[in-house]
Amino acid sequence: MGGAGLKAPPRRLAGPRRSPPQRLSFRRYPPRASSPSAQFMRSMSSSTASAKKIIVKHVTVIGGGLMGAGIAQVAAATGHTVVLVDQTEDILAKSKKGIEESLRKVAKKKFAENPKAGGEFVEKTLSSIVTSTDAASVVHSTDLVVEAIVENLKVKNELFKRLDKFAAEHTIFASNTSSLQITSIANATTRQDRFAGLHFFNPVPLMKLVEVIKTPMTSQKTFESLVDFSKALGKHPVSCKVRHCILQTCPRAVKSSLGFSLKGDASKEDIDTAMKLGAGYPMGPFELLDYVGLDTTKFIIDGWHETDVKNPLYQPSPCLNKLVAENKSGKKTGEGFYKYK
């Protein structure tokens, strides 16, 4: 039986060998234009990235007077590096001395039970402040420029126009002006979107309020960056548009106080006491005017008068003008409404 009856499987005839598969080649075409949706997504991503707020670390303060020195002090005391700028070394030396005296008062109260820590606080804060007489040479690496100089639009415009050429692209400009339109100052620069008002109140180390004034051109990014900076200083920022909000109440208080005193209805001492005890002011109106400087106050009132000639609140004060003409500008000259030793 053996398997003789079985047929062997047919032999498969050898065919031609298969060549290896050919690699497909693709012709290069120009890239396709993005779809509108893709372009939109990319623009959204780009705008989100560019809209990131500026974290202010380095601050340049222009003006070493009471306001400028106060701003420099609170910025340095809260971990910022500060360059304080003014016209002469003598002015800056006086500013640094005033800052040190103010810091020692703060330290004495804040570190009453630990004088050593208070001394370290003073030294550390002072080491964070350097001075310069050349604003243009120091703004190239700063995050924020705060101007606190004379209340004169032409002078401020010349300053910012010059600094605009040297400051970094991301640098925010801010003015601490008490009377001038922020828009009028911002227009002197090419960075209106990075320009705003940052109005502190005297004395800066004590007063918690800060007005952040947003012009129609100020970007939301700039506004929010300044709000965050104000909070980092331990201040309470409030938002204003174009003009100061709280400051508009000051002319009425000043005019009323001057009027009461001149007519003999109340003495300047009684008015100051009443405002401190009755309204919770840290200083009375006459004390504050002497502290700020009667010459500075005259500049402010004159500026308001120019913008609104018919407003009775903005009329020049003969009493104030007389004291300034006699070089009695307040605490800095030894006499104003009060006499100082």
Q: Is 151 annotated as a binding residue?
A: yes
Comparing CA positions, the residue from 211, 146, 159, 154 lying closest to residue 189 is 159
Q: Is 86 annotated as a binding residue?
A: yes
Q: Which residues pair with 122 in a beta bridge?
A: none
Who contacts 77 (Cβ-Cβ below 8 Å, separation ≥6)? Answer: 103, 106, 121, 125
Q: Is the peptide bond before 203 cis (omega within 30 degrees of 0)?
A: yes
CB of 229 closer than 8 Å to CB of 56: yes
Concatenated DSSP letters of 130-196: EEES-GGGTGGG-SEEEE---S-HHHHHHHHHHHTTTS-TTPEEEE--SSS-HHHHHTTSS-GGGEE
Cα 83 to its chain centre, rounded Å, is 14
Cα(211)–Cα(232) distance, rounded to whole angstroms? 14
Q: Is 235 annotated as a binding residue?
A: no
Element (H, E) at 125: helix 115-127
Q: Tokens 């005296």 map to which residue?
A: 101
Q: Is 65 annotated as a binding residue?
A: yes
Six-digit token string for 40: 């939109």
Q: Is 327 annotated as a binding residue?
A: no
What is the DSSP secondary structure assignment for residue 338, as one 8-state letter?
S
Cα(172)–Cα(223) distance, rounded to whole angstroms? 10
Cα(14)–Cα(43) distance, rounded to whole angstroms? 64
CB of 176 closer than 8 Å to CB of 148: yes
Q: Is 34 annotated as a binding residue?
A: no
Who contacts 147 (Cβ-Cβ below 8 Å, separation ≥6)? Answer: 62, 63, 156, 159, 160, 173, 174, 175, 176, 177
Q: Is 209 annotated as a binding residue?
A: no
Q: Is 68 annotated as a binding residue?
A: yes
Annotated binding site for CoA: 102, 109, 178
Binding-site entries for NAD(+): 63-68, 86, 151, 156, 178, 202, 332
Instruction: Please give the annotated binding residues, written as ranges.
Output: 63-68, 86, 102, 109, 151, 156, 178, 202, 332
